[in-house]
């Protein structure tokens, strides 16, 4: 009986490698609130990602909530329906109305033309997602933002380590928010980070993530508990030692899938290969309509064989009852997103996945 294969499995280094970090935390007695592990991880991540100002947070969702607070975003924000539900939830938690615009079918990211068409006098910002780690049309989005005086916060939950023309993707927009959840390319069990353009914004974010405290007696904002603990930070430091090998293995798997799936009737690999700065965080395939069983039948078939692929992102965020009455949420307004939600299947991809397992998955797809 083969082991179950999930859409992802967290990378876990040998346990012995983590013990010295734990000993150090035990010795220091500092468990959270910006201790030495936290400080070291912030610096190490900023260096690794090629950014200057990075603030750790407890998870990506808190990161989005805090980022919106830091820029004092109100009113309406244009965002994508084709994402994990946390993207829109972060708006709602700030009392902001999400306005859904359609995606570009090539990239699964917000289509700049549809963003511009959705702007109203109440629009204050754009919240695009670098879906599956594919860069958004950053130049076009920034041009729109400038023309209309809007802020841009990138949900970069999938975009750890993604580069464009040798530069970090995280340098675009007013802020970028990463997720370090266990299912992500780089993880700290739970965690995330906000990348800021300057020291002042970073400082504001750091007050917000610590209840608004500046010092023992001064509170400057209605902040929240958005901190990362020392254990999570220490694990991040250890993970960073393994990240290049993990990314290399992901890219290998990405290449193997493409090779084995090439020319298979009814199956398309919609994204470019994860070379040139890609992080191979997901491996979406498009199951095209035709005589063979469709996407949902394939999803079920794989499940019967112990392979837990996922329909990221089905349903669309705009299809959930809490968002159905938001502006732009009707399916006729979002034809590309609706088609993607109904035809994409994300295949398992993670460093410990073996070539034989990839072959088995592809064989099951071929035999459907």
Shortest Cβ distance from residue 350 to ligand T4K (Å)? 8
Q: 305, 233, 270, 228: which is closest to 57 by C-alpha?
A: 228
Please report, in angstroms and rounded to a whole number, the separation of the first and last CA atoms in the chain.
Answer: 21
The backbone torsions φ and ψ at residue 229, rounded to the nearest 5 degrees and listed phi first, read -80, 170
**Cβ distance to ligand T4K smaller for residue 235 or 312:** 312
Residue pair 134/271 in contact (Cβ under 8 Å)? The answer is: yes
Shortest Cβ distance from residue 265 to ligand T4K (Å)? 28
Shortest Cβ distance from residue 180 to ligand T4K (Å)? 7
Q: Which helix (H) or strand (E) holds 152?
A: strand 151-155
**Cβ distance to ligand T4K smaller for residue 83 or 232:** 83
Torsion of CA 304, 301, 352, 166, to 10 degrees: -150
Residue pair 320/92 in contact (Cβ under 8 Å)? The answer is: no
**Cβ distance to ligand T4K smaller for residue 261 or 307:** 307
HSE (side-chain half, CA atoms, 13 Å) at 246: 22
- Asked if 365 touches ligand T4K (CB under 6 A), the answer is no
**Cβ distance to ligand T4K smaller for residue 155 or 174:** 155
Shortest Cβ distance from residue 333 to ligand T4K (Å)? 21
Shortest Cβ distance from residue 193 to ligand T4K (Å)? 10
Rounded (5°) CA angle 251-234-38: 110
What residues from 111 to 150 belong to the interface with ligand T4K (CB under 6 A)?
129
Binding mask 77-96 for ligand T4K (x = CB under 6 A): ------xx-xx---------
- Which one of residues 38, 114, 181, 207 is an interface residue with ligand T4K (CB under 6 A)? 181
- Asked if 59 touches ligand T4K (CB under 6 A), the answer is yes
Shortest Cβ distance from residue 247 to ligand T4K (Å)? 18
**Cβ distance to ligand T4K smaller for residue 54 or 157:** 157
Quote the distance between the C-alpha of residue 208 and its chain's center. 22
- Measured between alpha carbons, how far is 110 from 108 in angstroms, rounded to an integer? 7
What residues from 306 to 335 belong to the interface with ligand T4K (CB under 6 A)?
308, 310, 312
The helix/strand/coil state of 124 is strand
**Cβ distance to ligand T4K smaller for residue 126 or 266:** 126
């Amino acid at each position: 009986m083969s082991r179950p294969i999930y859409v992802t499995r967290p990378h876990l280094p040998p346990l012995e490698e983590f013990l010295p970090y734990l000993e150090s935390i035990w010795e220091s007695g500092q468990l959270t609130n910006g201790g030495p592990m936290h400080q070291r991880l912030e610096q190490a991540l900023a260096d690794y990602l090629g950014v200057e100002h990075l603030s750790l947070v407890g998870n990506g969702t808190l990161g989005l909530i805090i980022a919106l607070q830091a820029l004092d975003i109100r009113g309406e924000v244009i965002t994508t329906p084709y994402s994990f539900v946390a993207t829109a939830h972060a708006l709602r938690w700030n009392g902001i109305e999400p306005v859904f615009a359609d995606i570009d079918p090539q990239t699964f990211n917000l289509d700049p033309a549809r963003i511009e068409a959705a702007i109203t006098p109440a629009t204050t910002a754009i919240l695009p997602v670098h879906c599956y780690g594919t860069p958004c049309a950053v130049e076009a989005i920034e041009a729109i933002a400038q023309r209309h005086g809007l802020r841009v916060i990138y949900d970069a939950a999938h975009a750890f380590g993604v580069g464009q023309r040798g530069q970090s993707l995280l340098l675009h927009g007013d802020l970028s928010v990463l997720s370090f959840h266990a299912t992500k390319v780089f993880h700290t069990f739970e965690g995330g980070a906000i990348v800021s353009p300057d020291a002042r914004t970073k400082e504001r974010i750091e007050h917000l993530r610590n209840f608004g405290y500046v010092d023992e007696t001064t509170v400057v904002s209605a902040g929240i508990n958005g901190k990362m603990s020392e254990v999570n930070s220490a694990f991040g430091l250890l993970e960073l030692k393994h990240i290049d090998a993990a990314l290399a293995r992901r890219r290998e798997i990405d290449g193997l899938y493409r090779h084995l799936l090439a020319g298979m009737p009814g199956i398309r690999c919609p994204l470019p290969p994860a070379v040139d700065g890609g992080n191979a965080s997901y491996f979406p395939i498009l199951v095209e309509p035709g005589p063979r069983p469709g996407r949902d039948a394939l999803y079920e078939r794989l499940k019967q064989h112990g392979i837990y692929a996922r329909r990221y992102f089905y349903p669309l965020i705009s299809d959930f009852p809490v968002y159905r009455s938001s502006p732009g949420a009707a399916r006729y307004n979002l034809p590309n997103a609706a088609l993607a939600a109904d035809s994409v299947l994300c295949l398992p991809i993670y460093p410990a996945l073996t070539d034989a397992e990839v072959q088995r998955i592809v064989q099951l797809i071929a035999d459907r």
